[in-house]
Structures are given as structure tokens and as C-alpha cells.
A = this chain, B = another copy of it.
């Protein structure tokens, strides 16, 4: 495994506002908590060499003894291993016997994932798929581009939304993230720049980094998108790829208007740039349906659209798709088989059944999510009068602006209240956005009540030092991976 290093200034940036305003916890413990959180979040990778104590102490403005004590505490907890000659390396405690996938069952309430449980139609869809399966059993089962029938159903959906599409312009994937990884590996080369919104979906940033590309953030303005700045950024950087979420943007929930979509599509042709459009949330409109997909305005084969069933149906069903020019789809299908051999047949049959009957389940789902959104927003307005947020027009989350840049500290404090939340810094490049939080409304209203109560306690702790420390020992929360 690699032995990467992180410099003291970079680490300090990642730590953001590590000190809790008004907290009585000694500095070494606060630093220890901040570092542990970064490791658990995956933002500080495993096997990275931490800066020397003296250098980090200088940058953070604390004594060397403080850093020494923080490192020693992390060593005791199993988050750091010190090797003679190679310094202090990050690790995960192997004595933590609990598995990563048990994280959802632990004492922490999950308020960092914006994803719904399965609707009742899922089981029926699998049952109908099982009835169709025997037709497929004599074949070898390898379909790198996806079953033709499913590609047809997905193409028909685009046609209904105003985008002429044939089945050979569709590739079935394991989800939108998988589609993004495939698109990047086909279209990008190491070192390429990829223009993204800021904030944006964290796992998209991960995928861009994994493709050895550099994400170039363009900040979202107070409303809509700044298409001129996007254009200027493409011109100045010469970037050939962009990734945007115009349909109920994650995390903000905003929707791009028709005028901006048309302008965007034209800019991509003018600048010779491919635009990857993530439509994962497109079905989850809450106030009114979105305008035509960006691909509707495409005049040069520059738009690659990503779809997914994880948010509008269930995360345990792993089906997504890419819609693009048929030459790109063809190349992607050829390329894909060096990564995996295509998706499971039964899964694709179940997806086909759900998509054929989409209007039988989506309206109920939208009603439910709309109620949950309104409930969360009303609670936030009451409990946190000094927090700002815009009303999300769709999707599953609200993007909250705190009055002070303490999201990472608040995340640590929430953990002590038994609540896992997603700090804004996960949604930006270079650890920025520490003034923001993403809060999901994909939970039932009663769970939202509990989560907001705990969040409120954590906020008091961070902002005023009012809450007493709970009995949960934060050092025992290592299963939250």
C-alpha cells in the first residue's frame, strides 16, 4: 500500500474549525477528535503519514506537547501507528470487531445518508422478474451493455421526456456512480480537469479523484446556476469534461431552469466539452416536474446523462444507466468488461417491471417525501432561527448554512449525541464549506423529530457549551465507518 504524506497546512485545512467554540474539552482531545473523524469519514485515507508534531503544532498555533498528546491518544485508540523511521501513519483500529456494514445498526442514528427505504412495489417487481427468468437461463448471462428489453424501456422514458433515444444509446450500469466512473474512465485522462458545482455530490468528487483528475469547483450563486461563470471557467481552464446535477441538485435540491439548460448545452458544443449530467434525483420533484432533460437541448452529442433507481426506488436494487451518443455507449460497453461483466439478469428484469409502471409508485413516494421535507423545514425554522436554508424543490436533502464555520465540530458533537450527520466540507473541494450541513428528509417524520432534537443538543454544545456530555463515550464509537 502507498505511503502518502499530508503536509501540516493541508491537514489544518482538512480539520477546518476543529476547536469547539466555548467547549471545555482540552485542545489535545479536540484535535484527536477532529483527526479521528477525518479518518472515519475517509477524508484522511488510511496509510497516510501525518505531519511531524512540531510542524503541525506551528500551523495550528498550539504547543508541541498538545499534538504529542493527541497523536498518543490516536495511537491508543488504534487510529495511528508509529513506525521507526516512517513517522505516524493513519490506520483503522483492527480490534474494532464490528463490520462496516453494521454501522447502520449501531447506537448512532443515521442522518447523513439521503436515501429512502424500499417502496412496496419492489417485492412485486422481483416476483414478476422471477417469472420471466427461465427464458434467460439457457444463455450465458453476460450482457455488458444490459438486456435489450431494459435498454428499450429506459430509451422510451427519454422519448416521453422529449429526448429521442434508441436502445443502443443506453448502457445499463450498477447505478449512477458506476455510470460516472465508466464515463470518466472513457473520456478522461490522468491530470484532466473536471468542472463541477460547489457544493456537489461527495462521491462524484471521489470518482474524479480516483480517475486521477482534478475537480475545478464553480460556486453555486444564491439561486440557480451561474452559467456565465461556468462558461468562463471552461474557457480559462480548457477543461473538456464537466459534471453537474441540474435536476434537484445534491445537496441543495435546486432545479435548473429551461433557459440555463439550453445555454449550457450550447456552451458545451462551443467549447468542445463533454457534460456529464447526473439525473439521479430527477424523478423526485416535489413542487413541479423539472424542464426537459439537458440532453433535449444537445446539438452536438456532448451530453452524457446518468440515471439511477436507487433514490426513486431503493438503494438495495443496483440499477442505473448512461444515455449518450451511440459511439460513446458502444465504446463504454467494450471498455466496461475489463471492470465487470455486466449486471445481474434478474435485477434488470425487476427494474424493467418497475420502470414500465413508474407512475403507479412515484406519486405516492413524492407525496410522502414532500410531507417529510415540509416537516423538517418547519422544525429547522423553529429550532434554529439563526440558520439559513433554501427550500429544496426536489431531491432528498436541504443544504443548511450555519452562522459560523463549525460544521466539522458540530458533526463531532452530534456523534456524542448519537447522531451521524454530513458536514458541508464533504461536498466541496479542498475541505471548504465548513459553514454548511446537508440534512436529509428521507426519514419518517418521527425519526426526523428525534434527529433534530439530538442535533439541537449538539448545536447548543458547540455554540454555547450548554448541553452536558452524554454517557456515550465518544472513544467507543469507532464502528462508525
Interface residues of A (CB under 8 A from B): 1-2, 42, 46-47, 91-92, 94, 97, 99-102, 104, 110, 113, 115-118, 122-123, 126-127, 130, 133-134, 136-148, 151, 167-168, 174-175, 177-178, 181, 185-187, 189-190, 203, 206-207, 209-210, 212, 310, 314-318, 326-327, 330-331, 333-334, 337-347, 350, 481
List 8 A-B pairs, Cβ < 8 Å.
Answer: A1-B186, A1-B187, A100-B330, A139-B316, A141-B310, A174-B341, A209-B338, A318-B341
Distance of A94 from chain B, by nearest CB (Å): 5
A346→B122 CA distance, assembly (Å): 11
Distance of A344 from chain B, by nearest CB (Å): 4
A137→B317 CA distance, assembly (Å): 10
Select which of B210, B212, B317, B339 is within 8 A of A338 by beta carbon.
Answer: B210
CB within 8 Å for A126 and B346 given contacts A136-B316, A139-B316, A148-B99: yes
CB within 8 Å for A104 and B334 given contacts A92-B327, A175-B340: no
CB within 8 Å for A168 and B138 given contacts A127-B130, A210-B339, A340-B174: no
Select which of B115, B138, B340 is within 8 A of A318 by beta carbon.
Answer: B340
A127→B185 CA distance, assembly (Å): 37
Is A317 a contact partner of B210 (Cβ separation < 8 A)?
A: no
Q: Which residues of B contact A167 (CB under 8 A)?
A: 99
A101-B148, A104-B139, A127-B130 known, 7 other contacts, Cβ within 8 Å: A110-B140, A117-B140, A118-B138, A123-B134, A141-B310, A141-B316, A175-B340
Is A46 a contact partner of B94 (Cβ separation < 8 A)?
A: no
Distance of A301 from chain B, by nearest CB (Å): 11
A151→B99 CA distance, assembly (Å): 10
Q: Which residues of B contact A134 (CB under 8 A)?
A: 123
Tell me the nearest residue of chain B to A204, going by C-beta.
B338
A123→B97 CA distance, assembly (Å): 35
Distance of A318 from chain B, by nearest CB (Å): 4
Is B145 a contact partner of A100 (Cβ separation < 8 A)?
A: yes
A30→B448 CA distance, assembly (Å): 69
A337→B174 CA distance, assembly (Å): 12
Q: Which residues of B contact A337 (CB under 8 A)?
A: 177, 203, 206
